[in-house]
């Protein structure tokens, strides 16, 4: 198996991308192609010992930055690490693609270059979401901010397949994110999506109140990209705000400082539960080939976990299963 | 000033409603009319000493429960404490209305009985939102799950008036909840709402990322009722989940238990920051008279604070200002 890694995307690249690739080769037993400025990637690679022939480099002179307009960037920067990497994926030079670069550009590139699976109306950006019970899988988290009910139906199918095959959940419970649990609650979009999802051959548990999402009420949470992004970002913001409030409280007196010191390892372990780095990247579901977005601030550890995720994505044949499921269901 | 209180609404009534009314009379120097089953309210009232003539009772034989369909309940239960209370408000028997009963029924009753201010397209349910800096004011949080851009524009105007007049914020910063900070981000609804809000004579600061809402990035956060409810409920759910995780971590060892014990008062103070009871209720904005929804699980303290809020709502002449502002702006 060969995985293509965007050597230039993200805040900490090329260092993180190269080190993450080296670690992945050693731990996961696969080959990697790093796309980026050849001399920079080579210089970075020379810091590590790598088994011969496990890491190749494809030269790419340009880089797409986060502040570029995605469609323009993909169209114009033909020599960027992202465009060259995605083209290499389509040409069969590698089996999957990982990038910590611009989410918008990766989505656009995915749609324009890799293209959607036949029958899929919209590709979704999905992510693993840490809960008190473990993890849930949330989609869409930002690729489609204006959705039709049919898109949500397809997100449910794709989420179910991914959760079962890649995350290893047996008969994953699929919930529709809503502001009430009973059928008939919510806005027009979710009401109509509910009816469509009820007819699917998945383990649909109905509406889930967003209040219960952090408790792991469902294995897969389906929503439109605006609401999904709100859930994701508010979760990040709340965790950060609660930590800073907690810190403020804990430094109020000598006694509380001492108390907090005694709890240091527990506070660290608690923070670790919310660490995106553990969970790898966010898969783009609905494309013809595996593409995973790593967090923009990924370090080598996060890149390695994103590579692990694309490996499972490939091994479990997720794309063929999605294609089959979508088209069986669409034909009925 | 006379405030009408629904004596039967909420999980802890009539006890909480009556005790909260008694405390409000003593602390806030106003008169109260409690609506509910006369003999029950009288029995409850007899537990307290109240200055003569400060609390009246209006008899209401029925109660609307949370699981009733709002429109049917308001139409059919003419003898309910909520319907009789709202009618007393319209008849001028009191100056404002507080209920901890069903949100849906109160909204419906507000629209059918109290009615909207001329020029207001939709009434909004608004709420105070605790942040690391203090409080923000969030609307709509569930009254309108399908919105047009014009509604959001009016929410911005009403939120600005309420924040300034009742919450005492000078030139409140009004933000549009979005998934990105730059203009042009988001779904069709928020993009169009942005353009309308830009033209208003308010302190519009543009899009605010939902990630920054817990940090108090704006004084007023405008969103549709679906997204607002998601923000509110996820905030509650996250706080609860983080506390239970924290508790789990803190009881792992003897040392951590001892550490947590030393932090007891800080943990309590931290929890207090998130306590809805401190902030009173959720005003229904856009109605012709002041109506405030108290939290369903309100105790006497929360009811008293909701009464305080409706008092400010009345004293600051919010409704006339909203009517003037809306119609001045609409005419331009």
Is residue A44 domain-resident?
Answer: yes
pLDDT higher at B53 or A331: B53
Which tokens belong to A62? 């340009």
B130 and B268 part of one domain: yes
Q: How many CB pairs under 8 A join A and B?
A: 156
Q: How does DSSP classify residue B171? A: S
Of A132, A179, A249, nearest to B241 by CB-CB distance is A132
B106 and B135 part of one domain: no
A93 and A17 part of one domain: yes
Q: What is the pLDDT of residue A303?
A: 95
Q: What is the pLDDT of residue B269?
A: 66
B134 and B269 part of one domain: yes
Q: Does the distance separating the beta carbons of A261 and B267 come in below 8 Å? A: no
Q: Does the distance separating the beta carbons of B211 and A237 come in below 8 Å? A: yes
Is residue A67 domain-resident?
Answer: yes
The shortest C-alpha distance from B205 to chain A (Å) reads 19
Of A179, A215, A245, nearest to B237 by CB-CB distance is A215
Is residue B330 domain-resident?
Answer: no
Q: Does the distance separating the beta carbons of A227 and B215 come in below 8 Å? A: no
Structural domains of chain B, count? 2
Over residues B166-179, the pLDDT tens digits come to 999 999 999 999 99
Q: What is the pLDDT of residue A253?
A: 78
Is residue A245 domain-resident?
Answer: yes
Best to test chain A binding among B179, B235, B272 (most A CBs inside 10 Å): B179
Confidence of residue B331 (pLDDT cuts 50, 70, 90): low
B263 and B301 part of one domain: no
- Other C-beta atoms closer than 10 Å to the C-beta of B294 total 33
CA distances from B161 to B37, B98, B168, B215, B306 (A): 36, 20, 10, 22, 18
CATH for B96: 3.40.718.10
B32 and B148 part of one domain: no
Q: Does the distance separating the beta carbons of B235 and A235 come in below 8 Å? A: no
Residues of B whose CB is below 8 A from A210:
229-230, 233-234, 237
Q: Does the distance separating the beta carbons of A226 and B186 come in below 8 Å? A: yes
Best to test chain A binding among B68, B71, B212, B237 (most A CBs inside 10 Å): B237
Burial tier of A273 (Cβ tally within 10 Å: 0-12, 13-18, 19+):
middle
Under 8 Å between Cβ of B318 and B166 = yes
What are the b/e assignments for B195-219, b being 16+ CB within 10 Å? ebbeebebbbbbbbbbbbbbbbbbb
Residues of B whose CB is below 8 A from A209:
233
Q: Does the distance separating the beta carbons of B245 and A270 come in below 8 Å? A: yes
- Chain B CA closest to residue A250: B266
B131 and B242 part of one domain: yes
User: What value does the mean pLDDT of chain B take?
Assistant: 92
Kindly write down the DSSP assignment for every residue of A316-330, as one continuous string. Answer: TTHHHHHHHHHHHHH
Residues of B whose CB is below 8 A from A238:
214, 234-235, 238-239, 242
Cα separation, A189 vs A224, in Å, equals 9
E strand intervals along chain B: 2-6, 31-36, 55-59, 96-99, 124-130, 135-139, 174-178, 204-209, 220-222, 282-285, 291-293
A291 and A249 part of one domain: no
- Chain A CA closest to residue B212: A237
Confidence of residue B246 (pLDDT cuts 50, 70, 90): confident
Of A241-245, B2-6, B45-49, B79-83, which range is least confident? Answer: A241-245
Cα separation, A28 vs A3, in Å, equals 11
- Other C-beta atoms closer than 10 Å to the C-beta of A118 total 10
Of B209, B234, B261, nearest to A231 by CB-CB distance is B234
B168 and B274 part of one domain: yes
Q: Does the distance separating the beta carbons of A238 and B242 come in below 8 Å? A: yes
What are the b/e assignments for B6-19, b being 16+ CB within 10 Å? bbbbbebbbebbbb
Would you say residue B241 has pLDDT above 90? no
Per-residue pLDDT of chain A (332 residues; tens, 9 = 90+): 999 999 999 999 999 999 999 999 999 999 999 999 999 999 999 999 999 999 999 999 999 998 899 999 999 999 999 999 999 999 999 999 999 999 999 999 999 999 999 999 999 999 999 888 889 999 999 999 999 999 999 999 999 999 999 999 999 999 999 999 999 999 999 999 999 999 999 999 999 999 999 999 999 999 999 999 999 999 988 888 877 777 777 777 777 777 777 777 766 766 666 666 666 789 999 999 999 999 888 999 999 999 999 999 999 999 999 999 998 766 55
Q: Does the distance separating the beta carbons of A244 and B233 come in below 8 Å? A: no
A184 and A238 part of one domain: yes
Stretch B70-84: mean pLDDT: 97
Q: Does the distance separating the beta carbons of A249 and B179 come in below 8 Å? A: no
CA atoms within 13 A on the CB side of A172: 26
Over residues A203-224, the pLDDT tens digits come to 999 999 999 999 999 999 999 9
Q: Does the distance separating the beta carbons of B262 and A259 come in below 8 Å? A: yes
Is residue A326 domain-resident?
Answer: no
Is residue B331 domain-resident?
Answer: no
Would you say residue B46 has pLDDT above 80? yes
Would you say residue B189 has pLDDT above 60? yes
Q: Does the distance separating the beta carbons of B132 and A244 come in below 8 Å? A: yes
pLDDT higher at B127 or A279: B127
Cα separation, B65 vs B58, in Å, equals 19
Q: Does the distance separating the beta carbons of B241 and A214 come in below 8 Å? A: yes
Helix (H, G, I), strand (E, B) or coil at A35: strand
Cβ neighbours of residue A248 closer than 8 Å, sequence gap 6 or more: none
Structural domain of residue A257, as residue ranges?
A: 125-279
Residues of A whose CB is below 8 A from B233:
179, 209-211
Cα separation, B314 vs B311, in Å, equals 5
Cβ neighbours of residue A168 closer than 8 Å, sequence gap 6 or more: none
A159 and A20 part of one domain: no
B297 and B242 part of one domain: no
Would you say residue B267 has pLDDT above 60? yes
Residues of A whose CB is below 8 A from B244:
132
Q: Does the distance separating the beta carbons of B242 and A242 come in below 8 Å? A: yes
Q: Does the distance separating the beta carbons of B236 and A234 come in below 8 Å? A: no
- Chain A CA closest to residue B229: A179
User: Which residue from B184, B236, B180 is spatially nearest to B209, judged by alpha carbons?
Assistant: B180
Look up the ipTM and state it: 0.90
Is residue A259 domain-resident?
Answer: yes
- Chain B CA closest to residue A264: B256
Is residue B322 domain-resident?
Answer: no
User: Which residue from A205, A208, A216 is spatially nearest to A185, judged by alpha carbons?
Assistant: A208
């Amino acid at each position: 198996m060969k995985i293509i890694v965007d050597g230039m995307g993200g805040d900490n690249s090329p260092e993180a991308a190269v080190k993450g690739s080296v670690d992945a080769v050693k731990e996961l037993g696969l080959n990697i192609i790093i796309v980026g400025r050849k001399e920079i990637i080579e210089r970075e690679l020379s810091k590590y010992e790598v088994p011969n022939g496990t890491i190749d480099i494809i030269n790419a002179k340009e880089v797409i930055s986060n502040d570029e307009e995605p469609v323009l960037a993909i169209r114009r920067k033909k020599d960027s690490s992202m465009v060259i990497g995605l083209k290499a994926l389509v040409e069969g030079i590698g089996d999957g693609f990982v990038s910590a670069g611009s989410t918008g550009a990766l989505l656009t590139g995915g749609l324009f270059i890799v293209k959607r699976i036949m029958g899929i109306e919209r590709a979704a950006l999905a992510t693993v979401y840490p809960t008190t019970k473990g993890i849930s899988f949330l989609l869409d988290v930002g690729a489609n901010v204006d959705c039709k009910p049919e898109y949500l139906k397809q997100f449910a199918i794709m989420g179910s397949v991914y959760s079962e095959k890649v995350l290893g959940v047996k008969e994953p419970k699929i919930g529709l994110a809503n502001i009430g649990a009973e059928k008939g609650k919510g806005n027009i979009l979710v009401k109509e999506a509910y009816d469509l999802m009820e007819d699917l051959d998945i383990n649909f548990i109905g509406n889930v109140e967003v209040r219960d999402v952090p408790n792991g009420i469902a294995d897969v949470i389906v929503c439109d990209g605006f609401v999904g992004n709100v859930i994701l970002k508010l979760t990040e913001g709340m965790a950060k705000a609660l930590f800073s409030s907690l810190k403020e409280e804990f430094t109020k007196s000598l006694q509380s400082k001492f108390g907090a010191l005694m709890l240091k390892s527990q506070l660290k372990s608690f923070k670790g539960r919310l660490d995106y780095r553990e969970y790898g990247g966010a898969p783009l579901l609905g494309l013809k080939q595996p593409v995973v977005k790593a967090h923009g601030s990924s370090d080598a550890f996060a890149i390695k976990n994103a590579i692990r995720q694309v490996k499972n994505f490939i091994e479990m044949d997720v794309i063929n299963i999605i294609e089959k499921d979508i088209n069986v269901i669409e034909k009925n």
